[in-house]
């Protein structure tokens, strides 16, 4: 079983890099600022429970996920630290939110009222963080322009509801990861609006223990936005444009092994649609990785994977479960050798740019079929085969 996991397709999760990235951010924010690690979407594909356990031992203050299901996965995995649900939870589930000791985002007065009513019925108090929409135009109390006074009043009313504990308040930046002058000024506008809302609430006697807004982009650029807590995601995983400048290290690498090698004559069409035809005799490797594992089909015929001896170009269409590569120039590559999709030779950042997307999408796309190998000091400490819904060893 172990051999099979090792010698097919797998993602390596470098827990030392994760610890390093956490500590680097800690150093940057200083001792007075708390750290919330964003572990939504299975910790950006890295494994939410494993990442959360590591953060818990490192002294991280808070975690965030997108849904109640993700939060329950953490609690089931033994995570006891505070967990904020960033997205919507149906108010009918309030009893569970309280039972699992979770913090719910509240983005409108009507929802606050529904949560408070349900919490009262459950005989408990629901801890909440108020979400303010300062310009992302997604979730949050409207406070822009003519909505300011009504928005502040609505937040104050929500916080005064009997069965809610308004521990925190936050907003989210849309463009904090950009150095373009118009993006810098937009971020500053968002931040000023957020602080104006905080001031207006303070004038009404309303204050919060945890005010937060800094995602990874703001962590890198805007120390003035750290307030009580920062909220990075992609920086924790060592990815994004700011990661190299911050000295962060990518946590995930993706590998697949050559399962078969065949030699084809000239003019042999390869894979679906016969997109590629061998111009001459070619030595071709078949890899057990395809778009169902997270290798984007749009890479067909244009990406190179990395062998220990040099790059191996992908030939023809990437299939659901398999991919062909040219090994003609790499006579030393044998069946069983591992090829890197992304990792030390080809960064996930670079690969995302090549695919005209962001590294977030690339790591989130690594599917549950791909086993995760957790590495510490060069050794595998845990293998997780999520297709079985459990840890393997
Ligand atoms: C995803 C998310 C983050 C983390 O963003 P990064 O760009 O990965 O740092 C922070 N806050 C909220 C509300 C989010 O949804």
Q: Whose CA is nearest to atom 13 of ligand 1?
A: 172
Reading the block at residue 269, the tokens are: 């069409």
Question: Is 272 known to be catalytic?
Answer: yes
Instruction: Tell me how far apart the alpha carbons of residues 13 and 393 are, in angstroms, rounded to a whole number.
Output: 15
Q: Whose CA is nearest to atom 4 of ligand 1?
A: 233
Annotated catalytic residue within 34, 40, 111, 131? 40
Reading the block at residue 318, the tokens are: 């990437």
Q: Is the pTM of this model over 0.75?
A: yes
Q: Which CATH class is domain 32-238?
A: alpha beta
Residue 378: is it exposed, middle or buried by C-beta count within 10 angstroms (0-12/13-18/19+)? Answer: exposed
- Taking a C-beta distance cutoff of 8 angstroms, is the pair 352, 358 a contact? yes
**What is the 3 state secondary structure string of 138-182?**
CCCEECCHHHHHHHHHHHHHHHCCCCEEEEEEEECCCCCCCCCHH
pLDDT tens for each residue of the chain, 393 residues long: 344 445 799 999 999 999 999 999 999 999 999 999 999 999 999 999 999 999 999 999 999 999 999 999 999 999 999 999 999 999 999 999 999 999 999 999 999 999 999 999 999 999 999 999 999 999 999 999 999 999 999 999 999 999 999 999 999 999 999 999 999 999 999 999 999 999 999 999 999 999 999 999 999 999 999 999 999 999 999 999 999 999 999 999 999 999 999 999 999 999 999 999 999 999 999 999 999 999 999 999 999 999 999 999 999 999 999 999 999 999 999 999 999 999 999 999 999 999 999 999 999 999 999 999 999 999 999 999 877 765 544
Return the best residue to mutate from 233, 237, 238 for the ligand 1 pocket (most ligand atoms within 8 A of CB). Answer: 233
What is the Å distance from ligand 1's center to 310 Cα? 36
Is 231 a pocket residue for ligand 1 (Cβ < 6 Å)?
Answer: yes
What is the Å distance from ligand 1's center to 213 Cα? 9
Contacts of 158 (CB under 8 A, 6+ apart): 106, 109, 112, 113, 130, 141, 164, 166
Residue 169: is it exposed, middle or buried by C-beta count within 10 angstroms (0-12/13-18/19+)? Answer: buried
The count of other CB atoms within 10 Å of the CB of residue 393 is: 11
* Minimum-distance ligand 1 atom for the alpha carbon of 177: 7
Tell me the domain boundaries of the chain: 32-238, 252-391
Taking the CA atoms of 42, 47, 53 and 57 in sequence, report the sign of the dihedral they define.
negative
Is 172 a pocket residue for ligand 1 (Cβ < 6 Å)?
Answer: yes
Contacts of 257 (CB under 8 A, 6+ apart): 7, 8, 9, 287, 288, 336, 337, 338, 339
Instruction: Tell me how far apart the alpha carbons of residues 211 and 371 are, in angstroms, rounded to a whole number.
Output: 37
Reading the block at residue 321, the tokens are: 């479960």
Backbone φ and ψ of 349, nearest 5°: -60, -50
State the CATH architecture for 252-391.
Answer: Beta Barrel (2.40)
Is 38 a pocket residue for ligand 1 (Cβ < 6 Å)?
Answer: yes
Backbone φ and ψ of 338, nearest 5°: -90, 135
């Amino acid at each position: 079983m172990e051999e099979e996991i090792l010698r097919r397709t797998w993602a390596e999760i470098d827990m030392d890099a994760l610890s390093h990235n956490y500590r680097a951010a800690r150093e940057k924010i200083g001792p007075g600022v708390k750290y919330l690690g964003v572990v939504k979407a299975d910790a950006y594909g890295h494994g939410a429970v494993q990442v959360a356990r590591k953060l818990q031992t490192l002294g991280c203050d808070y975690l965030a996920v997108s849904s109640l299901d993700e939060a329950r996965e953490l609690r089931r995995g033994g995570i006891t630290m505070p967990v904020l649900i960033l997205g919507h939870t149906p108010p009918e589930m309030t009893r569970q939110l309280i039972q699992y000791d979770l913090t719910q985002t509240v983005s409108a007065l009507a929802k606050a009222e529904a949560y408070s009513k349900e919490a009262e019925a459950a005989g408990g108090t629901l801890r909440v963080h108020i979400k303010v929409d300062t310009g992302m135009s997604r979730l949050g109390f409207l406070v822009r322009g003519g909505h300011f006074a009504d928005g502040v009043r609505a937040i104050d009313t929500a916080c005064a509801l009997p069965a809610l504990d308004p521990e925190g308040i936050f907003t989210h930046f849309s463009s904090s990861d950009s150095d373009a002058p118009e993006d810098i000024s937009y971020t500053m506008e968002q931040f000023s609006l957020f602080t104006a809302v905080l001031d207006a609430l303070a004038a009404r006697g309303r204050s919060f223990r945890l005010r937060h807004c800094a995602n990874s982009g703001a962590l890198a650029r805007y120390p003035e936005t750290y307030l009580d807590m920062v909220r990075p995601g992609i920086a924790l995983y060592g990815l994004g444009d700011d990661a190299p400048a911050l000295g962060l290290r990518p946590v995930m690498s993706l590998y697949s092994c050559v399962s078969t090698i065949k030699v084809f004559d000239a003019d042999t069409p390869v894979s679906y649609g016969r997109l590629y035809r061998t111009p001459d005799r070619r030595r071709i490797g078949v890899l057990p990785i395809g778009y169902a594992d997270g290798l984007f089909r749009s890479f067909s015929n244009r990406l190179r994977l990395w062998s220990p001896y040099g790059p191996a170009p992908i030939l023809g269409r990437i299939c659901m479960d398999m991919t062909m590569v040219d090994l003609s120039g790499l006579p030393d590559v044998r069946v069983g050798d591992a090829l890197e999709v992304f990792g030390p030779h080809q960064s996930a950042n670079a690969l995302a740019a090549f695919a005209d997307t962001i590294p977030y999408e690339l790591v989130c796309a690594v599917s549950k079929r791909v086993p995760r190998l957790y590495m510490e000091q060069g050794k595998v400490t845990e293998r997780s085969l999520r297709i079985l819904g459990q840890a393997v060893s």
